[in-house]
Every structure is written in C-alpha cells, then in structure tokens.
Chains A and B, each alone.
Chain A
Amino acid sequence: MNKIKKFVSNILKDYFNEQDKRELIEMLTRSLEEKVEDLVEQGTPVEKAIDISIQEFGSTADVLDAFPGKSTEFRQNAMRKRRSQFVFSLFGYGVIVGLALLINFWFRDFFGGFLWFGIIAIGMLFWPGTMYFLYRIVKK
C-alpha cells in the first residue's frame, strides 16, 4: 500500500500548504486503499487491484478541479515556487562554475594547463536543467 501513498504524494507534491497536503494525502490514500480492498474482495489480485486503482484515479488537474476558484491560485503558487528554484539553480550553477573557472586559471600551471572547469560546467548543467524541466511540467 506504500505504492499508493507514494503515488498520491507525488501528485500533490507541488500544491497546497503542508497541513492541507498532509490531510489530503491521508484522505486520498485511505479512499484508494478502500477501493483496492473492494476490488480484492471481488476477486482481483492485490497487485492488480493497486495498479487498476492508480490508473483510474486521475491526475493533479483532477484534484485541482475539486477546488473551483482556487485551482488557478494553486497553479500560480506552484509555478512561482518552481520558478524560484530554477532561478536559484541558475545562480548556484554560476557560482560553482565561476569558482571552478577561477581556481582552474589561478592554478593553471599546477594543473598543467588542463581546463577541467569545462567538465564541471557541463556536468553541473543537470541542476538548472532539472529545475527547468520541473518548472515546465507545472507551467503546462
């Protein structure tokens, strides 16, 4: 049943304040577990019942539909949060790559002229890249 709670938590991760989210996760998880129990009582194997319940449950948008007038506010809050995280990741990326660049050139002779900061610059791209991807998901 952990699979259900994980699924529900993932659906709500960008929305609601902590207390509302906790209550909603608890409530949605319990209702889904009851559905699983009903399906199992009707003869469906447990794992299949869990998969069916998750597939038929719906998405984040369906949860937000239950809060008319507030869904736009929830979406805007989530977008604002993800945008801040993206901007922070860009800033962090700039600082780390800048430091690497500085050290690399400062001790250029020590590193035998090897420009290793490039590896860091490429490798660290995953951070703003991931944040941008998450921002785009919420924006959709």
Chain B
Amino acid sequence: MISSDIIRGHIDTIVLKLLMERDMYGYELAGEIKTRTTNKFEIKEATLYSVLQRLESKELISSYTGEKTHGGQRRYYQITPLGKAYYREMIAEWQVLNDIMTAIMGSDIR
C-alpha cells in the first residue's frame, strides 16, 4: 500500500476527479477510491470527510441531501464550476511534475 505522505498533496485532485464523474456521498467516495486503486491506497475516512468539509468551505464542491437508490437519505457532494477550474489547474501542475520526473528518471519509470 502506498505511503499516505506521497499522495497526501493530491487528495483534493482525486476527490474532485471522482465528483466530476458523478455526485457521491462520503462513504461512497471512500469505497470508490479503494476499489479504483485496487486497495493500493486506502484513505482514512477521517481525512476524506475533513477534505470534503474543507473543499466545501472553499466552494470547490457543494452538497445537498438526496435519496439513496435503496435506502435512506445521504449528503451528496457535487463539484462546482470553481472546483472544475481548480481541477484543471491541478492536472496542468501534475503534467509539469510528471514531465520533470520523466526527464530526470528517464527509463527508470514507466
């Protein structure tokens, strides 16, 4: 499992990306991250829910109460236009970082 220190700076980007695909509630997001990374990265829910609260206070995401398909009500999160713009910035930064690492590490990294 990957060290949370390495990926910590990218949690915002991960959350925004998933919310760009569809609205989700907190525990659903945690499950989605776990599934997509095939358990290589398991974010602590304490961190994930706090990130959601922080992103919402920055107006990068917003929340609403919705009905779960088979169950009670859940607090769903959706990305805002500001969040989408921020996500695009993060992707651009990531590409620069990727280019730098590839230039230095060369064939050592895939």
The interface of chain A, by Cβ under 8 A from chain B, is 11, 23-24, 27-28, 30-32, 34-35, 37-38, 41, 56-59, 62-63, 65-68
- Residues of chain B within 8 A of A23, CB atoms compared: 53, 57
Give the nearest-CB partner of A29 in chain B.
B49
Give the interface residue-count category, chain B. 20 to 34
Interface of A is mostly: helix
A57:B53 contact, CB within 8 angstroms: no
Q: B residues near A, CB below 8 A?
A: 4, 8-9, 11, 25-27, 44-54, 57, 70-72, 74-75
Q: Beyond A56-B45, A58-B44, is A66–B50 a contact (Cβ under 8 Å)?
A: yes
Task: Please report whether the interface of chain B is mostly helix, strand, loop or mixed according to DSSP.
Answer: helix
A30 to B, closest residue via Cβ? B75
Task: State whether A24 and B72 are in contact (beta carbons under 8 Å apart), knowing that A11-B46, A58-B45 are contacts in the complex.
Answer: no
Instruction: Output the least CB separation between B90 and chain A (Å).
Output: 14
Partner of A27, one of B4, B47, B49, B71: B49
7 chain-A/chain-B pairs, Cβ below 8 angstroms: A23-B57, A28-B50, A31-B75, A37-B72, A38-B71, A56-B45, A59-B44
Name A65's contact: one of B4, B25, B26, B72 (CB within 8 Å).
B4
> What are the nearest 3 A-B pairs in CB distance?
A58-B46, A66-B50, A58-B44
Whether the Cβ atoms of A57 and B27 lie closer than 8 Å is: no
A31 touches which one: B4, B11, B44, B45 (CB < 8 A)? B45
